[in-house]
Chains A and B, each alone.
Chain A
Amino acid sequence: MKMKKILSTLALALALSVTLTACGTGTTVTTAAAAAATTKAAGAAETTAAAAAAETTAAAAATIAAKDIYIPVISKGLQHQFWQVVKKGADAAAAKYGITITFEGPASESEIAAQVTMLDSAIAKKPSAICLAALSTDSVMDQLNKCLASKIPVIGFDSGVPGAPEGSIYANASTDNTAAGALAATSMFPALEAQIKAATVAAPVRIAVLSQDATSESVKGRTKGFIDKMIELVKGAGIADIAVVGHDMYKNDVAEKSAAVVIDVAVSATTAAADLATSASALLNKSPIAIYGSNESAANGILDATNEGADLGAIVAVGFDAGIRQKTAVAAGYFLGSITQDPYNIGYQAVELAYKAVIGEAVANVDTGAKFYTAANMNDASIKDLVYD
């Protein structure tokens, strides 16, 4: 029968494509200590690891063979090169300890539902531990409680899992985002000092801030950290009339028309590149003296709106994270500089903390650090490895 034929072709195509994709990604996604192990063997190993992990106490857990430890690492997305460097660090730690990890993340950083499904699947696989950079803590409360109940250690990384149930997060490997945002303000300020000192209510100056969302803790911290530090610095320069305008979450009580320094905060409508570029244009149209983009997407939004930075002119721009476009703008001097986190260290520390938690060692939060890079120092040995392409 014709229909039967088609159906069997469907089954075959389905089976084939699943097998093919499994083969294709096996090497890149999974960093297995025993690389030769087949999928089936690895599967069996995981089951025993999970069973062992569930039964044993922390002390006895030390006896778990490293190759039996499986740790899914769930990131916020894979679309930015940032995450690729995090993955490199995670892979390096996995190779060092001889454990198995998988690195996964939703296609974009607004796909909360996809990440929740991913976490559900990860828990169902009964892993030894989980590394998680949550898009929204509220969305994964049930899952975290489940981990807590079944004693699966969760390690937060990047923005971590703020507000998680007590005891579910064993430790975090993350940048202190508020400090990193403050570093952006401190680094930018010397270039603005003269103009800010000359500012009056009659002739105010604007400082623009672009953020991709008002949702994630990391972006909120960097934005708030920048604004608070900038206010402190401006007050230090003798200007008291500072208005923060734009987004509700950040604005203060000072009216825009009675301020000498206006900090103008824009949050993009969505995380799509086009929306960030639109928000950047809107900010730049109001002729600020400086602009700060609080992550790679925001910095790219500024670049999209200014012909890769060439049209910035005298506007002092500071970005966040790296990526080839932002690096080029920094090297060309269009950007004063950018703040870099240490994505490699974030990935490495996350997996190391997870490993230590599994074998029962005490773990504590790790600040993975942030640095300001400029055209002058971006090729120094201490910076070079942090600013990914």
Chain B
Amino acid sequence: MSVGNNVGSGAAVKIKSPKKVSQRLLTFAALLVIYIFFCFFGRNFFGYETALNILDASVYIGFAAIGVTFVIISGGIDLSLGTVQMCSAMVGGVLFRKLGMPFGLALVFILITGTMFGLFNGFLIAKLKLPAFIATLGTMMIAIGLSSVISNVQTYNFPARTEVAGGWFKDVFSKLQLDNGWTIPTGAILLLVVLLLANVVLTKTKIGRYTYAIGSNEEAARLSGVNTVLWKTVPYAISGFCAGLAGISYACTYTTVLPGSGSGMELDAIAATYIGGASTTGGSGSVFGTIIGVFIMSCLRVGLPSMDLQPHYQKLMTGIVVIVAVLIDMSQQKKH
């Protein structure tokens, strides 16, 4: 194990950090530029209300993106997180509405479902050596099918504010509206907590060190005595757990969960991770960069309609941003 520690905490990781900091500053600057642009050209864009809207559109993608950052740093990919997110939410909805489970417990089962999917992915990839792309593609489809099956292709609604059972749901995971008219974005605060936690795990613990090590050079890590089967599974389990969190957050913000939905949502989370400076070949990336990526996308999503543009332009713009962000990353790597 001590050898493994050397690999993880060794120079390979530390050398990269100064570059990544400047990269993160650049992405942050891009976010500011976009925000200020909309403040000038959007209709009533600048203000607390719009800021809350941006948070609303960010939180659920944020959770999913934090999770997939672990996977991407480990050199893998998780295509299943969008549909796993919605399938987990559906499990909670069915348990609560159809089987009468207490709402709080149903939420726990959402997290368990997400984590189980993640462990399943990890098992396929780390133990059975299936390529991550194929394994998670399969899980993605399983999740779509499962959510349709358990819901009998019915839509499930999560509790509204006025409901007795679970009426606290929106207060805790989305927004708390105070009597004096103030709105506290509790969902965003929770995201911040998870973000800080994820950062600690990634930079200060064995999980993080081994994730970077496997992403940089899996063979070297294995030869140094790292149990790669175990430590390659962990990022997928984290991603699955975060997909469960994202499912809770989505269900809270948008209330209605459609059967068989979620495909495409993983792309938002993955794109955010790359905008945030993660490398496709693994070994680099940070959760802070990822979150900035998420906000860039949400800013576009909320900002473009304020200029009377359809939000579909957000996809178009995000595509451009992803390409440019990775180009900048590559040009920097050449310099080093």
Contacts and interface: CB of A to CB of B under 8 A. Distances in A.
Contacts of B331: 2-3, 6
A126 interface: yes
A13 interface: yes
B153 A269 contact: yes
A221 to B, nearest CB: 15
Interface string A47-78: 10010000000000000000000000000001
Interface string B311-336: 11100110011001001100110010
Given A104-B310, A121-B305, A141-B160, A215 B170 contact: no
Given A124-B47, A142-B170, A269 B305 contact: no
B18 to A, nearest CB: 14
A120 B302 contact: yes
Given A17-B320, A126-B44, A25 B256 contact: no
B267 interface: no
Interface string A10-24: 110111011001100
A252 interface: no
Interface stretch (B119-127, B185-193, B221-229, B257-265): B257-265
A11 B33 contact: yes
A363 interface: no
B268 to A, nearest CB: 10
A14 B34 contact: yes
Contacts of B43: 43, 46-47, 125
A6 B307 contact: no
B212 interface: no
Contact of B49 (A3, A39, A117, A124): A124
B154 interface: yes
Contacts of A113: 57, 250, 253-254
Nearest to A29: B308
A120 B317 contact: no
Contacts, number: 152
A124 B53 contact: yes
A247 interface: yes
A118 B41 CA distance: 17
**B308, B321, B335: most-surrounded residue (chain A CB, <10 A):** B308
Contacts of B160: 138, 141
A13 B320 CA distance: 9
Interface residues of A, number: 58
A17 B53 contact: no
A87 to B, nearest CB: 12
A186 interface: no
A332 interface: no
Interface string B33-73: 11001000101110101100100110000000000000000
Given A2-B331, A14-B320, A124 B45 contact: yes
Contact of B256 (A39, A126, A138): A138
A21 B317 CA distance: 10
A359 to B, nearest CB: 22
A270 interface: yes
Provide the main secondary structure of the chain A interface. helix
A379 interface: no
A44 to B, nearest CB: 10
B161 interface: yes
A139 interface: yes
Nearest to B325: A10
Nearest to B313: A21
B12 interface: no
A136 B255 contact: yes
A106 B264 CA distance: 14
Contacts of A6: 324, 327-328, 331
A112 interface: yes
A124 B304 CA distance: 13
Contacts of B112: none
Contacts of B33: 11, 14
B306 interface: yes
Interface in A349-374: none
A114 to B, nearest CB: 6
B311 A114 contact: yes
A14 B304 CA distance: 12
Interface string A93-124: 00000000010101100101110111011111
B152 interface: yes
Contact of A124 (B155, B254, B256, B306): B306
B26 to A, nearest CB: 7
A274 B280 CA distance: 33
Given A3-B331, A29-B308, A102-B308, A14 B317 contact: yes
B157 interface: yes
B301 interface: yes
13 contacts: A6-B327, A10-B30, A14-B321, A112-B254, A116-B253, A117-B57, A135-B256, A214-B155, A215-B258, A269-B148, A269-B153, A269-B259, A269-B260
- List 9 A-B pairs, minimum CB-CB distance, nearest first: A121-B305, A136-B256, A120-B53, A215-B155, A138-B255, A10-B324, A125-B43, A139-B255, A138-B157
Interface of B: 26, 30, 33-34, 37, 41, 43-45, 47, 49-50, 53, 56-57, 148, 152-155, 157, 160-161, 170, 175, 250, 253-256, 258-261, 301-302, 304-313, 316-317, 320-321, 324, 327-328, 331-332, 335
Given A6-B331, A14-B320, A113-B57, 16 more contacts: A15-B37, A18-B307, A29-B308, A30-B308, A78-B310, A107-B312, A112-B256, A113-B253, A116-B56, A120-B57, A121-B50, A124-B45, A135-B256, A138-B255, A139-B256, A215-B256
